[in-house]
């Protein structure tokens, strides 16, 4: 079987490499010449654990290619996946479909055989229907079908998420489209992974509903953390107590600085707009967006309070920049709002992240110092703020912190440290939703 993927970004590259691992012949069409040259040279433009080896192996096997032209990429392809960006549109919060429709137009203009156009990008409800109309208008001479196959990839664990998914969702209304997708995902039948076939609109909404619900769980536990701080409770125990209820589940109940990344912020905004325009506004999602934005903007105030209310002249070591560990993605990272707030309050910020330094630099105030190591960020610091829970930060011992730091303030925005040993070593520890003695 042969397929093409339009877009060699995060979703397109991971999906292409994983489909190739299934034994499918995959051509990834990347419009950016610099990025395509990197891929042809065996260099991966993003950080995702295991992706470099997966790409290397499948390129060597001849199953994964990066053609120079769109025509080469889609030649003979039974399915053409659209995996381009759908960023938040400025001004109204909707998903910007400029790249999606441009890609579809180019595919339709180039296609010379029947095929299924599949949206892999996260697109608003009704997009598949519009693409189907475009196909009927622009290529009435070809039997072009349309399907929706939303991705559910978590950055940092995208490969196992693709290879052993909780479920695969396919929105298709023709038997031919369903057959093509069924063949493509045949390896998952042996693993007994559920494959759900629905209509176009249903598949598109499933993706938004899933991300909206998970974002809501994160926001809920963050609000419970704020309540815990007021009443003397511990949010880690609250989360465990409710997470053991099978109806609730323990995942996404980790209190912290608020969600960021490429999916939750833009998808909650888009879902809010979709619901409003459909005449069924989602008050819950509206609140999730507002609460999460306010939480990130309030992070610097938390640090200032831990430092006695004044950050002027203080050296603050920020450990972590990416929105989560095992990625270099800085999109909507809580670290951005935190660092801007610290700098505006007069603090000198030294920051370190194992993978996100290059992607973070253009997004940070010029005054921010990027250290080469965690120790470099901590040396002489008045306060430590942990915001991304990389494993190398978890193992920092109180004795080591005492050797490196000038001050004694630890603000743990992920609750990864045990407060007892830190306080015993003379540190003033502040977590999220943890009562202070």
* pLDDT tens-digit profile, the chain (437 residues): 999 999 999 999 999 999 999 999 999 999 999 999 999 988 999 899 999 999 999 999 999 999 999 999 999 999 999 999 998 887 778 889 999 999 999 999 999 999 999 999 999 999 999 999 999 999 999 999 999 999 999 999 999 999 999 999 999 999 999 999 999 999 998 888 999 999 999 999 999 999 999 999 999 999 999 999 999 999 999 999 999 999 999 999 999 999 999 899 999 999 999 999 999 999 999 999 999 999 999 999 999 999 999 999 999 999 999 999 999 999 999 999 999 999 999 999 999 999 999 999 999 999 999 999 999 999 999 999 999 999 999 999 999 999 999 999 999 999 999 999 999 999 999 999 997 76
Gyration radius of the chain's alpha carbons: 24
Q: What is the CATH number of the domain that holds 130?
A: 3.40.50.720
Can you tell me the distance from the alpha carbon of 98 to that of 162, in angstroms, rounded to the nearest whole number?
26
Can you tell me the distance from the alpha carbon of 78 to that of 353, in angstroms, rounded to the nearest whole number?
42
Give the residue from 259, 280, 295 where a domain finishes: 295
Residue 435 lies in a domain: no
Whole-number pLDDT of residue 90: 78
Among 9, 93, 79, 82, smallest CA distance to 289 is for 93
Among 374, 319, 310, smallest CA distance to 342 is for 310
Residue 316 lies in a domain: yes
Is 263 an annotated catalytic residue?
yes
pTM for this model (two decimals): 0.93
Give the residue from 295, 318, 349 where a domain finishes: 295
The structure tokens listed for 323 are: 């929105």
- Containing structural domain, residue 346: 299-430
Q: Among 18, 228, 263, 307, which one carries the catalytic annotation?
A: 263
Among 299, 358, 298, 371, smallest CA distance to 330 is for 358
Same domain, 76 and 213: no
Can you tell me the distance from the alpha carbon of 110 to that of 75, in angstroms, rounded to the nearest whole number?
9
Same domain, 59 and 179: yes
Same domain, 6 and 142: yes
Whole-number pLDDT of residue 179: 96
Question: Could you please report the per-residue DSSP string of 115-133?
Answer: EEEEE-S---TTHHHHHHH
Same domain, 250 and 313: no
Same domain, 212 and 230: yes
> Across 208-304, where does the E strand assignment appear?
none
Same domain, 118 and 86: yes
Residue 364 lies in a domain: yes
**Mutual angle of helices 200-231 and 283-297, in 10-degree steps:** 50
Q: What is the CATH number of the domain that holds 245?
A: 1.10.1040.10
Residue 139 lies in a domain: yes
CB-based burial of residue 426 (10 Å sphere; 0-12 exposed, 13-18 middle, 19+ buried)?
Answer: exposed
Same domain, 313 and 404: yes
The structure tokens listed for 47 are: 């950080």
Among 178, 179, 177, 169, smallest CA distance to 201 is for 169
Residue 203 lies in a domain: no
| In contact, 323 and 331? CB cutoff 8 Å | yes
Same domain, 134 and 11: yes
Residue 146 lies in a domain: yes
Same domain, 289 and 331: no
Same domain, 228 and 190: no
Residue 368 lies in a domain: yes
357: alpha, beta or left, given left = phi > 0 and alpha = psi -120 to 50?
alpha
Can you tell me the distance from the alpha carbon of 428 to that of 430, in angstroms, rounded to the nearest whole number?
7
Residue 436 lies in a domain: no
Task: State the total domains in the chain.
Answer: 3
Can you tell me the distance from the alpha carbon of 310 to that of 41, in angstroms, rounded to the nearest whole number?
50
Same domain, 216 and 119: no
CB-based burial of residue 130 (10 Å sphere; 0-12 exposed, 13-18 middle, 19+ buried)?
Answer: middle
Same domain, 124 and 87: yes
Q: Would you give the end-to-end CA distance of the chain in angstroms?
A: 63
Give the residue from 280, 295, 310 where a domain finishes: 295
The structure tokens listed for 123 are: 């697109």
Residue given tokens 């833009």 in the structure block: 266
Can you tell me the distance from the alpha carbon of 437 to that of 429, in angstroms, rounded to the nearest whole number?
10
Whole-number pLDDT of residue 437: 67
CA atoms within 13 A on the CB side of 345: 25
Among 410, 414, 355, 413, smallest CA distance to 378 is for 410
């Amino acid at each position: 079987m042969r397929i093409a993927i339009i877009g060699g970004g995060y979703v397109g590259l991971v999906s292409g490499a994983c489909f190739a691992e299934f034994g499918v012949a995959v051509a990834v069409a990347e419009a950016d010449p610099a990025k395509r040259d990197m891929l042809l040279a065996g260099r991966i433009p993003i950080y995702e654990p295991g992706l470099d080896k997966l790409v290397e192996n499948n390129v060597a096997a001849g199953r994964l290619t990066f053609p120079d032209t769109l025509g080469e990429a889609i030649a003979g392809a039974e399915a053409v996946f659209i995996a381009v960006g759908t960023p938040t549109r400025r001004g109204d919060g909707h998903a910007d479909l400029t790249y999606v429709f441009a890609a579809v137009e180019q595919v339709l203009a180039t296609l010379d055989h029947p095929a299924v156009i599949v949206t892999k990008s996260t697109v608003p409800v009704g997009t598949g229907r519009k693409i189907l109309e475009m196909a009927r208008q622009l290529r009435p001479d070809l039997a072009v079908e349309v399907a929706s196959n939303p991705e559910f990839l978590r950055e940092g664990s995208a490969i196992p998420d693709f290879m052993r998914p909780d479920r695969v969702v396919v929105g298709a209304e023709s038997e031919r489209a369903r057959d093509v997708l069924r063949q493509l995902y045949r390896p998952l039948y042996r693993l007994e992974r559920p494959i759900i076939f629905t209509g176009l609109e249903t598949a598109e909404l499933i993706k938004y509903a899933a991300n909206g619900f998970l974002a809501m769980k994160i926001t809920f536990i963050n609000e419970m953390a704020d309540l815990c701080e007021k009443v003397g409770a511990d949010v880690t125990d609250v989360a465990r107590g409710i997470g053991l209820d099978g109806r609730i589940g323990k995942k996404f109940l980790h209190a912290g600085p608020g969600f960021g990344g490429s999916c939750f912020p833009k998808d909650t905004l888009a879902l809010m707009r979709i619901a409003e325009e459909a005449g069924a506004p989602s008050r819950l999602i509206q609140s999730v967006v507002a609460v999460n934005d306010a939480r990130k903007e309030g992070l610097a105030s938390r640090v200032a309070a831990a430092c006695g209310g004044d950050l002027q002249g203080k050296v603050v070591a920020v450990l972590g920049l990416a929105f989560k560990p095992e990625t270099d993605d800085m999109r909507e990272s809580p670290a951005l709002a935190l660092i801007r707030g610290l700098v505006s309050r007069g603090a000198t910020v030294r920051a370190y992240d194992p993978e996100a330094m290059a992607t973070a630099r253009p997004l940070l105030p010029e005054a921010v110092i990027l250290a080469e190591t965690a120790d470099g960020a901590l040396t002489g610091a008045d306060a430590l703020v942990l915001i991304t829970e990389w494993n190398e930060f978890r193992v920092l011992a109180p004795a080591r912190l005492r050797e490196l730091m000038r001050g004694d303030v630890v603000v743990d925005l992920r609750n990864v440290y045990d407060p007892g040993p830190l306080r015993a070593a003379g540190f003033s520890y502040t977590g999220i939703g943890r009562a202070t003695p």
